[in-house]
Structures are given as C-alpha cells and as structure tokens.
Homo-oligomer: A and B are copies of this chain.
Amino acid sequence: MEIDLNCDMGESFGAWTMGLDAEAMPLVSSANVACGFHASDPGTMRRTVRLAKQHGVSVGAHPSYPDLVGFGRRDLQLSPDQVRDDVTYQLGALWAFCRAEGIPLRHVKPHGALYNASARDAELAQAVADAVRSIDPALVLVGLAGSEHGRAAERAGLPHVAEAFADRAYLADGSLAPRGTPGAVLHDPARIADRVARMVEDHAIEAIDGASVPFAARTICVHGDNPAAVEIIRAIRARLSQAGIAVRPFASELSRRERP
C-alpha cells in the first residue's frame, strides 16, 4: 500500500517568509510550488525546487490568479482565455527552474480562488487543462475529487489525480463540509493521522454524520505553514509507517510509463 502527501510550498515572497518548507519538505512526497502570481519570486522558486530535489520530492506547479496582495484567494473572474494564458506563463516559469535544477515537472494543482473556480466551472477547468496539455501531456492535473477538474483532464487527455484533505471533514455526499460548520476543520494530530491511515486502508472516508464515503483520491493534501501543521504531518507519517503504508509521489507510477 502507498499514498502521496502533497503540500503547498515556496510561498515566501521577497523579504517575507511563509511556511516551514525546510521542516515540511522531508515529510511529504509531492510539492505544489507557487509560481509568482499569488506568492513566490524567482529566487524562492529556485530554492524551493532545490529543496524538493534534495529530499526526492516530486515537483508540481501551483498556478494562481495574478493577485499577490490577495494571495490568490480573491475570485478575479478572469475569462477562460486569460486563465489559460496565465497558467501557461506560470507553468513555463516553474518548468524553467526544474529544468535548470535537473528534475522533471510532474503535476499541476491550481491554487486558491482559481482552484475553487475551476472545480466548479467547466470552462475554467478546460482552460487550465488546455494550458497544461499544451506544455506537456504527461503532466498530472491534481484537483478536487468529483469536480470539473477531472472531467476537463479527461477531455484533454491528461492524467488526473483527485486529492483528499487530511484535516477537513466530509459530508455524506463526498463534498467538503463548509468551513463555517462546527467540526469542518480537524486539529488533533492523532485523530487526523488515524483518519488518513483509514482512508488508505479502507478506501473510505468517514463523513461528518458517520456515513462512509468512497475514497478515490491518490494524494492527500497536508499543510506546512505553521508548527502545528508540521506536527500533523509528522503524526500522519508515523501512523502510516505503523500501518505499513509507504509515502510516495502519486506521479511515480504514471511517470514510469513516460520514462525511457
């Protein structure tokens, strides 16, 4: 048994630090690296790609709406063409650092408001998928389970991987419990670690009302932006290890095919 843990990385900007990348990187298997539109800058991108390489972590792009001051969390309502071009630009920029550091770019996961908008809106999802495919049809589109992300990837002939969230409660229909709801966000490391292990072992997630939701994700999103978040990843790693579950990039199998 194996699972991937993905984590947003490289979200510092200029003189500002965000995230405990040095602590979190050795604990995860895939890094979603910011590309300068919601966070990061060229120097940060290079350092992040190097850090990922050093720890054998698979690198993906984490493109966003162009909104530094809003950290990519504001819904900019761009047209599909604008989204396609903005994503193309960002993928190229990160690809260049991967190339310069001698490692492949493996996946793409949209960030923040672009993630949410493209999960809901078929045209925006298509714009993202088109940008990805135009760069490299072997790139994996990582997105929300059951959303437009998967459908767009399929139409574009792109590999797609759905993600689950380690610290979010699910409703019986498989969707995330809205952030306002009591219990929507989990905080206890042991409980989260346990949940993650059971997702992988049982191929199911226990929903907030006790129902069992099928777990179709091949990667689990974790956070590394504060000491408590890193503590949670540590607990997950320990629990997975105990259960004999390896933490390995989801892209490993897919990418094996494309390798010579």
Q: A residues within 8 Å of B by Cβ?
A: 12-18, 36, 39, 41-43, 45-46, 66-71, 73-78, 81-82, 85-86, 88-97, 99-100, 131, 134-135
User: B88 near A92 (CB under 8 angstroms)?
Assistant: no
Residues of B within 8 A of A99 (CB): 92, 134-135
Tell me whether A41 and B69 are in contact (CB under 8 A): yes
A67 to B69, alpha carbons, bound, how many Å? 11
> In the complex, what residue of chain B is closest to A47 when comparing beta carbons?
B85
Which of B12, B13, B78, B95 touches A92 (beta carbons < 8 Å)?
Answer: B95
Q: Tell whether, in the assembled complex, residue A71 and residue B14 are in contact, meaning their CB atoms are under 8 Å apart.
A: yes
Q: A77 — which chain B residues lie within 8 A by C-beta?
A: 74-77
| CB closest chain-B residue, reference A72 | B15
Determine whether the beta carbon of B16 is less than 8 Å from that of A85: no
CB distance from A75 to the nearest CB of B (A): 5
Partner of A93, one of B68, B92, B100: B92
Give complex CA distance A17, B13 in Å: 11
Of B43, B69, B92, B100, which contacts A134 at CB under 8 A?
B100
With known contacts A74-B77, A75-B77, A88-B46, A14–B68 Cβ distance under 8 A? yes
Taking the closest CB of chain B, its distance from the CB of A11, in whole angstroms, is 8
Contact of A14 among B36, B43, B70, B78 (CB under 8 A): B70
